[in-house]
């Protein structure tokens, strides 16, 4: 056996390792949870769809167990996290979380399976997400490929959401909606859970987290080799001249007290408010919690409180 097959070129534990021979070993987020016509805990039904075959993009669709004839529900388009390198909509954590959100909020959801780095460096994840949104919008006339979306989605009440890297994607998809439009879709709001934003200059508690700063900087350069660094507008909204063009009217940002990315969530609120954008931004902070704690411990008090806040954000007028 070639010794290069065991030699590590990049080590981003606990996420993944890449070996000298090019082999990628994802250390977590590799399981598969099958869709269900009747989730035993929530009654939510789900099925998988192919959005694009030329560029392989798929999604998992979720809906409440019972939707009355002719009844239309808000739509949540969800982008999973994982640092752009791990996880899919089909892992148990994301499948179960979307079941919970759909049940509690009484919405239809589309959970997007975008291509991941390093095999497909950024901006592939963003390109795939936009392709997915155009596919979703193709149902607004009632003539799309999925009857669930044709019959039971109110395209005047659409929300984007995501956690970590998925929150980064959701933010940029909202900017693109504002800049280019998404015919047939009214984007009401976006929900950013522990967004993966960063920057060259440390802010707040980041000043004492040298290890965390190095990890975030290096991971970003790894997933986006063409970047000039962590002040790239993709990662630092304060450096993005387009941030004021967000195509929604309200934003919910969820942060966690012990998350290394917490300061960036609060800073995002400042950046958006200073940009001239006319909408409303609110931030919810979970005390004594770490990054994406709600996926690991979905029934804890803080996770349930965050879920309730998300549900209220979607359903309030």
Q: Are residues 14 and 45 in the same domain?
A: no
Q: Are residues 12 and 86 in the same domain?
A: no
**Which of the following is catalytic: 39, 128, 232, 259?**
259
Is pLDDT above 60 for 288? yes
Containing structural domain, residue 309: 36-315
Q: pLDDT tens digit string along 22-51? A: 999 999 999 999 999 999 999 999 999 999
Q: pLDDT tens digit string along 254-274? A: 999 999 999 999 999 999 999
* Residue 259 appears among annotated catalytic residues: yes
What is the band of 244 on the pLDDT scale with cuts at 50, 70, 90?
very high
Residues sharing a CB contact under 8 Å with residue 218, sequence separation 6 or more, in sequence order: 12
Whether the CB-CB separation of 257 and 284 falls below 8 Å is answered with: no
Q: Give the model's pLDDT for residue 1.
A: 46
Which value, to the nearest 10 degrees, does the dihedral of the CA atoms of residues 169, 172, 177, 182 take? -30
Q: Are residues 188 and 241 in the same domain?
A: yes
Q: Are residues 7 and 99 in the same domain?
A: no
Q: Are residues 308 and 274 in the same domain?
A: yes
Q: Are residues 3 and 115 in the same domain?
A: no
Q: Give the model's pLDDT for residue 136.
A: 98
Q: Are residues 2 and 84 in the same domain?
A: no
Q: Are residues 95 and 180 in the same domain?
A: yes
pTM reported for the whole predicted model: 0.97
Is pLDDT above 90 for 4? no
Q: How far, CA to CA in Å, does 3 sit from each of 10, 19, 21, 22, 112?
A: 16, 10, 9, 13, 37
**Which of the following is catalytic: 140, 164, 232, 240?**
164
Q: Are residues 113 and 228 in the same domain?
A: yes
Q: Are residues 26 and 145 in the same domain?
A: no
Average pLDDT, the chain: 96
Q: pLDDT tens digit string along 61-102? A: 999 999 999 899 999 999 999 999 999 999 999 999 999 999
Is pLDDT above 50 for 3? yes
Q: Are residues 18 and 166 in the same domain?
A: no
């Amino acid at each position: 056996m070639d010794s290069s097959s065991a030699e590590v070129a990049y080590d981003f534990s606990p996420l993944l390792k890449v070996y000298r021979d090019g082999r990628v070993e994802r250390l977590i987020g590799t399981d598969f949870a099958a869709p269900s016509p009747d989730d035993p805990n929530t009654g939510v039904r789900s099925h998988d769809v192919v959005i694009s075959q030329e560029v392989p993009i798929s999604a998992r669709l979720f809906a409440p167990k019972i939707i009355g004839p002719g009844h239309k529900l808000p739509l949540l388009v969800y982008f999973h996290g994982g640092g752009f390198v791990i996880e899919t909509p089909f892992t148990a954590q994301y499948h179960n979380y979307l079941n919970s959100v759909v049940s509690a909020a009484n919405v239809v959801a589309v959970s997007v399976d975008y291509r991941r780095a390093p095999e497909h460096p950024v901006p592939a994840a963003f390109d795939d997400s936009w392709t997915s949104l155009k596919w979703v919008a193709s149902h607004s006339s009632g003539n799309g490929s999925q009857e669930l979306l044709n019959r039971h989605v109110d395209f005047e009440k659409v929300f984007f959401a995501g956690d970590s890297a998925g929150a980064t994607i959701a933010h940029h998809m909202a900017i693109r909606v504002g800049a280019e439009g998404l015919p047939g879709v009214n984007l009401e709001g976006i929900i950013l859970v522990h967004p993966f934003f960063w920057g060259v200059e440390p802010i707040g508690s980041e000043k004492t987290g040298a290890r965390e700063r190095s990890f975030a900087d290096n991971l970003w350069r790894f997933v986006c080799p063409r970047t000039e660094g962590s002040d790239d507008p993709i990662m630092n909204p304060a450096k993005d001249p387009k941030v004021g063009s967000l195509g929604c009217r309200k934003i919910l940002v969820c942060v966690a007290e012990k998350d290394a990315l917490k300061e960036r969530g609060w800073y995002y609120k400042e950046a958006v408010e200073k940009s001239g954008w006319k909408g409303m931004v609110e931030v919810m902070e979970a005390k004594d919690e770490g990054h994406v704690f709600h996926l690991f411990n979905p029934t804890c008090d803080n996770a349930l409180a965050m879920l309730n806040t998300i549900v209220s954000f979607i359903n309030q007028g």
